A and B are shown apart, each in its own frame.
Chain A
Amino acid sequence: MNTDATAPDTAPRVLGVPAMGLVVLVGVSGSGKSTFAARHFGPTEVVSSDFCRGLVSDDENDQAASADAFALLHTIVDVRLRRGLLAVVDVTNVQQRARAELLAVAKANDVPATAIVLDVPESVARRRNRVRPDRDFGDHVIARQCRDLRQSVKRLRKEGFRKVHVLKGVAEVDAAVVERERAWPDRTELTGPFDVIGDVHGCREELEELLAALGYAFTRDDRGRAVGARHPDGRTAVFVGDLVDRGPDTPGVLRLAMGMVRDGDALCVPGNHENKLIRALRGTKVTPTHGLAESLEQLGRESEEFRAEVLDFCDGLVSHLVLDGGRLVVAHAGLKEAYHGRASGRVRSFALYGDTNGETDEYGLPVRLPWARDYRGRAAVVYGHTPVLKAEWVNNTLCLDTGCVFGGKLTALRYPERETVDVAARRTWYEPVRPLAGEGPGPSAGGDRSDTVVDITDVGAGGRRPGLFVETEFGTVRAGGPSVLGALEVMSRFSVDPRWLLYLPPTMAPAPAASEAGYLEHPDEAFAWYRAAGIGQVVCEEKHMGSRAVAVLCRDGAAAERRFAPGSTGTVYTRTGRPFFADRALGAGVVDRLRAAVTGAGLWDRLGTDWIALDGEVLPWSAKARTLIRDQYASVGAAARAALPAAGAALAAAAARGLDVGRLAEKTARSAEQMEEFSRVYRRYSWDTDGIAGLRFAPFAVLASQGREYSDADHLWHMATAERLAEADPLVRTTRYRVVDTTDPAACASAAAWWREMVDAGGEGMVVKPLHGARATGAKGLTQPGLKVRGPEYLRIIYGPDYTDPGRLEALRDRRPGAKLGLAMREHKLGLEALARHARGEPLWRVHEAVFATLALEAEPVDPRL
């Protein structure tokens, strides 16, 4: 069909298109758009009206379906652009109105639009359409389209297309080559390491001092002025903008920064001050406030040539930079996630001035909206612009403007090390209009440091369909809608301040049903399970019958305020995040005793921390569960003790009358015995306490301390640490344990005997755990962190006093723990994730997300007796 193709006598046209953005093909029907699109773009990148018509009507040529088809097309384009992909639209697009709608979608997504016009002779288009049986419209349609096209071509730039490529004739269309151009801010190929430097504002001396501290070596001109600096390890400096104004030596700062950028030793994004300087240097009339006058005066003493260089430099700066594979974003005033890597007027405005709503504060300065507070992106955003007292991470964002020119500090971030380095200002070079953030009252001056509350969308609620998906190291874990709403209520009404909640204990599955007669659970099954999972060494730990408790203990109030929340030195919370002790004074007393035990055991220094989180069990059971024991267990016992003798007497009287009630009488008698055994169980775990007196805390794991978590430590270490604590204070109870090789039958048998001994003496049972700790992996990856093996008497309060009756036990063996094992594993993943996020110092919402999901999973319907 290429009948009129002639060899092009020039090099093929290279058409630049945005790697992320919109490409609109403009051409009449039969101009070869689809062929062109298929040749240059991937099938999922191209959206055509024919395709959408097919989707909504099963007929690609059903013109009656056009309205729906175009609505769908715009949605697809919108979604692709929002997700940072390329969208190529294959529609005739010869009419301005059709293009305007597409341009609006591109604009809304802050991406550039490129038009490629396929201008082939009308005769070619007519011929092509005639040979296509599905095109039944007449030549007059083509003629009209050609007219529209001719009128369009001239005004495409004006309509808003950043680039317009017009391909004249079939030969040029066929020869064209498409080249994808990355957006200006996209410098993801640069991996650093970087030293990001905050707002310099003409403070040359401090800048030189900071660069020297970071290890840069200077090049100087013949007058001794620094004109470049290079790091021996090839690090790259990144300036967050606002190099100029207010300070004593704006030209000196520019000379150094421009030199470094020119030599490839630095990158730079523009600040609002550079933006204004550009206009001033260009001769635009601007008010020389906020230190601009100083810059102009200082620059006035420089050469014309230097001023031209400055203008060039500032004018060439790209609004923001996306670095290190997308993991680092640098923008002067910060940048919300939706704008990363995008280019539009409002993206530039955000990057330069921040998120403002036009309001000003009592000092006449614009109110900056707290975008960082709502930031949820994976990329670290490093910025300046708003002077703060101290550079602090907020939701993976960091403001480096520590007000050097106002007498504060000049700060740099070493990346990826995430260390800050700062030098103090030599003096106050410029009086601030308002106090530095943190000093003044009110939210506008308080900066963005509000990492104290979690947004409702962070926990999977507040939207149309509640539900939470948490990405963990071991895969995504999902919590369903009703569970999320249940957890929301519990967290809102009952839990401790979420800042203390670094972890909720996952549920634990029982060992598979025992094969040994008379038992529902037996150690052999736990050993066999781990053996099959490829775990050789396990530890058997005595299971205390109490209430699960997590204790977070701080060395002092300062540590609590820094890492958790002000106002206390620790907390003890339950498996669902509630304060363990309803009595505040008692809770504080227990915290103080445990803190003293940590001090006595020397753990602060040993672990190099000023806080520690312990997972354990508070005894007795009755301390927390008195109501439960009373209502659900002792009451049943009471009812039985009242009713069974009465029934026995009635049956005896009936028997005396000669009625046949033998089976019933016998059953009633047996039931009375079982009820006594049942009652013995809960009585054993109930004893009186008076304040702290009588309470015991049995820790079995150190969860975390400053900057690290201990899921990778083996259980012997955890047990030894618990023993240290117990030596320091008798409030802490140790846990009996022994290590077992699951492949050694003798060791297994001996451990089973040990278990039997413990449960015969009234113990609840034991927990079998992989020796190597919570992160132990077996043949199939991450394995269950523990399996419980409960004693036969204890199980009476779980399965009923009479569960040992013949037939019952057999039936119970079919109890199907699969769902419970699955739940335990999902909660285990969340627990590890929460600890890891907390240890990495991730924002509150990230830790809370995993913790919240654990609570939500606890609400999922799984047989709770398992």
Chain B
Amino acid sequence: MLLTITTTATPAAPATDLGYLLHKNPGRVQGFEQSFGTAHVFYPEATAERCTAALLLEVDPRALLRARTSVSTPDFALAQYVNDRPFAASSLFTVALGRVFRSALRGRSDARPALAAAPLPLELHLPAVPCRAGADKARALFEPLGWRVSAEPVPLDPGLPGWGDSPYLSLTLSGEQVLSEALSHLYVLLPAMDGGKHYWVDRGEVDKLLRAGGLRVAGPDGDTAEEDPEAGSAWLVRHPERAWITRRYLGRRQTYVRTALARLAEADDLPEEEADPGLEDVLAPPAPDRPGQERAPSLAAQRAGAVLAVLRAENASSVLDLGCGPGALLAELVADPALERITGADVDTASLQRAHRRTCRGCAPGGRGRHRDLFGDTGAVREQGARPPRPELLVGSAVYRDARFCGYDAVVLMEVVEHLDPERLPALEETVFAAARPRIAVVTTPNAEYNVHYERLAPGALRHSDHRFEWTRAEFARWADAVAERNGYTVRHLPVGPQDPATGSPTQMGVFTR
């Protein structure tokens, strides 16, 4: 809610010249109406030696309500009246900052052009900056830009001893900086720190923010940052944390199903998963990057490769990837001409949409690269007589029996079982092995014994926050053998990834045939 910008006199100009750079008169209290409240600018001190401008955002929750387009935002409950917007330097605050100091942000000052382009002794203070990533992250973000950073965690609540600190920092930045650049640092990095609680007023704001950092965005996945030659100052391009910063801007877009789901969220729910970066690969000790030596493929790639090899060896011509997620395996499967029919099923419609975007080459009428919305059983929405889509995508669950799962040569459960509570495994067994009864079933799951090789993984911890368990090789074998026995399959066990004599491979695979 509050930002103070303090400068001291330089040989070139008195401190009060700050008013010319900000385009705000130090002698007045000014209010700027925003759709979500009023931004006030006033000067708590204004002498030739030292001048402080304050931006105070007075959020009107009712106005905020009006400003929002729909009640179906994911956290409708909290976005309304009980939120940190009136107090924290959230992304909303950034929007006000951008509007109120628009000219200053562009470095325009007709009255003091030289001063606007010159580094000034500046101190910026924000009493409550939301930054879940912590004080270290704040330092990592601002120090490379030449700031001295004081980032003090704000205690959560004196009435709740033992609950630790809040996710807010009291942030003070000091250093010699060009004012417009200093403001652009805040303009980009405050929302990045706010991250998960980011609300865009509209899509255009995103691009604006990225332009402020000298970035242009290529795709919706947000990991491609290119230099924009037109940007005056491309500090973000050189920033060591630029990948993190950029990813935080382009949050997952919410679909209506996602929205419905969010209303069912509970307090102890897992945080929304980021697009799977291949956790084992993140956890694995970095492979030595020697010139001329090819890096080993990621474990995710090895896993997909192992599954493909099994499917080929077993002459599968139709495959159901049950729990396909965002379609990592599907993308490989569709490239295999030996497979006549490929279907991905997942209970997470958002993942399914991603799988769709990943594997489909434009399916909307007339093409144009737009994708049809996946809703029910998805694949069914097509012209009569048209070929089935490749892959077909279904909203389906591994624990609800489903006639659509029948008739495939192979069913793949790649990294699926460990996402189910052990109590639900009999339901999965029934759905896949008793009801769908494919000729081949391929199950992969982490090998818990291998976890000791992940230095960054605490002993006994699981590789993913949504893993309900991770099996040792013996535990997996016990389950797989019993399933095979009960359902008339034989199972063989194969390692995936580098083999360690003591712990085995990072991923274990069971191939069920009947």
Residue numbers of A with Cβ under 8 A of B are 441-443, 450, 452-459, 461-466, 481-483, 485-494, 496-497, 547, 565, 567, 574, 576, 578-579, 582, 624-647, 649-654, 657, 659-661, 664, 667, 671, 679-680, 683, 686, 688, 797-801, 803, 808, 811, 855, 858-861, 863-865
User: Which residues of B sit under 8 angstroms from A630, Cβ to Cβ?
Assistant: 156, 163
Q: Which residue from A450, A462, A858 sits with its C-beta under 8 Å from B404?
A: A462
A277 to chain B, nearest CB (A): 34
B41 to chain A, nearest CB (A): 10
The docked-state distance in angstroms from the alpha carbon of A811 to that of B264 is 28
User: Which residues of A sit under 8 angstroms from B71, Cβ to Cβ?
Assistant: 861, 863
Kindly identify, within residues 123 to 160 of chain B, every residue whose CB is under 8 Å from any CB belonging to chain A. 125, 127-128, 130, 154-157, 159-160
User: Which residues of A sit under 8 angstroms from B380, Cβ to Cβ?
Assistant: 464
B299 within 8 Å of A (CB atoms): no
12 intermolecular pairs with C-beta atoms under 8 Å apart: A443-B486, A482-B257, A485-B257, A492-B400, A642-B166, A647-B2, A650-B44, A650-B56, A654-B29, A799-B81, A808-B62, A859-B260
A811-B62 contact, Cβ under 8 Å, with A638-B166, A654-B43, A654-B44: yes
B499 within 8 Å of A (CB atoms): no
Do B263 and A858 have beta carbons less than 8 Å apart?
A: yes
B334 within 8 Å of A (CB atoms): no
A486-B260 contact, Cβ under 8 Å, with A443-B434, A688-B162: yes
Do B44 and A442 have beta carbons less than 8 Å apart?
A: no
Do B154 and A639 have beta carbons less than 8 Å apart?
A: yes
The docked-state distance in angstroms from the alpha carbon of A463 to that of B381 is 11
- Interface 1/0 per residue, B156-183 and A, CB below 8 Å: 1101101100111010000000000000
Closest B-chain residue to A627, C-beta based?
B267
Do B260 and A453 have beta carbons less than 8 Å apart?
A: no
- A-B pairs, top 9 by smallest CB distance, nearest first, are A800-B81, A638-B166, A628-B267, A653-B44, A486-B260, A639-B87, A646-B127, A859-B260, A492-B397
Do B264 and A490 have beta carbons less than 8 Å apart?
A: yes
The docked-state distance in angstroms from the alpha carbon of A458 to that of B423 is 21
User: Which residues of A sit under 8 angstroms from B168, Cβ to Cβ?
Assistant: 635, 638-639, 642
B188 within 8 Å of A (CB atoms): no
Closest B-chain residue to A480, C-beta based?
B260
Do B81 and A453 have beta carbons less than 8 Å apart?
A: no
A466 to chain B, nearest CB (A): 5
B84 within 8 Å of A (CB atoms): yes
The docked-state distance in angstroms from the alpha carbon of A53 to that of B157 is 76
The docked-state distance in angstroms from the alpha carbon of A686 to that of B155 is 17
Kindly identify, within residues 46 to 101 of chain B, every residue whose CB is under 8 Å from any CB belonging to chain A. 46, 52, 54, 56, 58, 61-62, 71-72, 76-78, 80-84, 86-88
A642-B128 contact, Cβ under 8 Å, with A636-B84, A653-B45, A661-B42: yes
User: Which residues of A sit under 8 angstroms from B43, Cβ to Cβ?
Assistant: 654, 657, 659
Kindly identify, within residues 346 to 393 of chain B, every residue whose CB is under 8 Å from any CB belonging to chain A. 347-349, 375-377, 380-381
A456-B54 contact, Cβ under 8 Å, with A482-B257, A861-B71: no
Kindly identify, within residues 265 to 285 of chain B, every residue whose CB is under 8 Å from any CB belonging to chain A. 266-269
User: Which residues of B sit under 8 angstroms from A441, Cβ to Cβ?
Assistant: 485-486
- Interface 1/0 per residue, B396-424 and A, CB below 8 Å: 11111111100000000000000111011
A572 to chain B, nearest CB (A): 14
Do B486 and A635 have beta carbons less than 8 Å apart?
A: no
Segment from B223-231, B311-319, B425-433 that makes contact with A: B425-433
User: Which residues of A sit under 8 angstroms from B402, Cβ to Cβ?
Assistant: 455-456, 462
Do B264 and A576 have beta carbons less than 8 Å apart?
A: yes
The docked-state distance in angstroms from the alpha carbon of A667 to that of B424 is 54
Q: Which residue from A442, A578, A646, A864 sits with its C-beta under 8 Å from B76?
A: A864
Do A679 and B159 have beta carbons less than 8 Å apart?
A: yes
The docked-state distance in angstroms from the alpha carbon of A800 to that of B83 is 8
The docked-state distance in angstroms from the alpha carbon of A565 to that of B422 is 13
Do B399 and A492 have beta carbons less than 8 Å apart?
A: yes
User: Which residues of A sit under 8 angstroms from B403, Cβ to Cβ?
Assistant: 455, 457, 462
**What's the interface size class on B, roughly?**
35 or more
The docked-state distance in angstroms from the alpha carbon of A637 to that of B162 is 16
Closest A-chain residue to B256, C-beta based?
A482
Main secondary structure of the interface of A (DSSP, over half): helix
The docked-state distance in angstroms from the alpha carbon of A860 to that of B46 is 54
Do B166 and A489 have beta carbons less than 8 Å apart?
A: no
A490-B261 contact, Cβ under 8 Å, with A455-B401, A456-B396: yes
B9 within 8 Å of A (CB atoms): no
B507 within 8 Å of A (CB atoms): no
Residue numbers of B with Cβ under 8 A of A are 1-2, 4, 27-29, 40, 42-46, 52, 54, 56, 58, 61-62, 71-72, 76-78, 80-84, 86-88, 125, 127-128, 130, 154-157, 159-160, 162-163, 166-168, 170, 256-257, 259-261, 263-264, 266-269, 347-349, 375-377, 380-381, 394-404, 419-421, 423-424, 426-427, 430-431, 434-435, 466, 485-488
Do A443 and B256 have beta carbons less than 8 Å apart?
A: no
Q: Which residue from B167, B400, B466 sits with its C-beta under 8 Å from A635?
A: B167
Closest A-chain residue to B44, C-beta based?
A653
User: Which residues of B sit under 8 angstroms from A582, Cβ to Cβ?
Assistant: 268
User: Which residues of B sit under 8 angstroms from A647, Cβ to Cβ?
Assistant: 1-2, 56, 127
Closest A-chain residue to B435, C-beta based?
A453
A633 to chain B, nearest CB (A): 7
The docked-state distance in angstroms from the alpha carbon of A461 to that of B376 is 7
The docked-state distance in angstroms from the alpha carbon of A688 to that of B46 is 49
Q: A482-B259, A659-B43 are in contact. List 6 more A-B contacts (CB 8 A).
A: A466-B375, A497-B427, A638-B155, A653-B44, A688-B162, A859-B264
User: Which residues of A sit under 8 angstroms from B264, Cβ to Cβ?
Assistant: 486-487, 490, 576, 855, 858-859
Q: Which residue from B86, B263, B487 sits with its C-beta under 8 Å from A671?
A: B86
Do A643 and B156 have beta carbons less than 8 Å apart?
A: no
B430 to chain A, nearest CB (A): 4
User: Which residues of B sit under 8 angstroms from A459, Cβ to Cβ?
Assistant: 400
Do B430 and A462 have beta carbons less than 8 Å apart?
A: no
Do A637 and B395 have beta carbons less than 8 Å apart?
A: no
The docked-state distance in angstroms from the alpha carbon of A565 to that of B81 is 43
User: Which residues of B sit under 8 angstroms from A453, Cβ to Cβ?
Assistant: 399-401, 427, 430-431, 435
Do B430 and A452 have beta carbons less than 8 Å apart?
A: yes
Do B58 and A797 have beta carbons less than 8 Å apart?
A: no
Do B156 and A456 have beta carbons less than 8 Å apart?
A: no
A635-B430 contact, Cβ under 8 Å, with A456-B400, A646-B2: no
A466-B376 contact, Cβ under 8 Å, with A489-B261, A635-B156, A664-B56: yes
A432 to chain B, nearest CB (A): 20
Closest A-chain residue to B255, C-beta based?
A482
B168 to chain A, nearest CB (A): 5
The docked-state distance in angstroms from the alpha carbon of A544 to that of B128 is 33
Q: Which of B71, B268, B396 gathers most chain A CB within 10 Å?
A: B268
B394 to chain A, nearest CB (A): 8
Do B77 and A574 have beta carbons less than 8 Å apart?
A: no
A694 to chain B, nearest CB (A): 13
B84 to chain A, nearest CB (A): 4
User: Which residues of B sit under 8 angstroms from A464, Cβ to Cβ?
Assistant: 376-377, 380-381
B337 to chain A, nearest CB (A): 29
Q: Which residue from A452, A639, A642, A650 sits with its C-beta under 8 Å from B54?
A: A650
User: Which residues of A sit under 8 angstroms from B52, Cβ to Cβ?
Assistant: 650, 653
User: Which residues of B sit under 8 angstroms from A456, Cβ to Cβ?
Assistant: 396-397, 400-402, 404
Do A686 and B160 have beta carbons less than 8 Å apart?
A: yes
The docked-state distance in angstroms from the alpha carbon of A641 to that of B156 is 9
Closest A-chain residue to B53, C-beta based?
A650
Do B78 and A642 have beta carbons less than 8 Å apart?
A: no
Q: Which of B4, B266, B349, B381 gathers most chain A CB within 10 Å?
A: B266
User: Which residues of B sit under 8 angstroms from A636, Cβ to Cβ?
Assistant: 82-84, 87
Q: Which residue from A628, A659, A800, A803 sits with its C-beta under 8 Å from B29?
A: A659
Do B170 and A450 have beta carbons less than 8 Å apart?
A: no
User: Which residues of B sit under 8 angstroms from A462, Cβ to Cβ?
Assistant: 376-377, 394-396, 400, 402-404
User: Which residues of B sit under 8 angstroms from A654, Cβ to Cβ?
Assistant: 29, 42-44, 54
User: Which residues of B sit under 8 angstroms from A858, Cβ to Cβ?
Assistant: 263-264
Do A443 and B82 have beta carbons less than 8 Å apart?
A: no
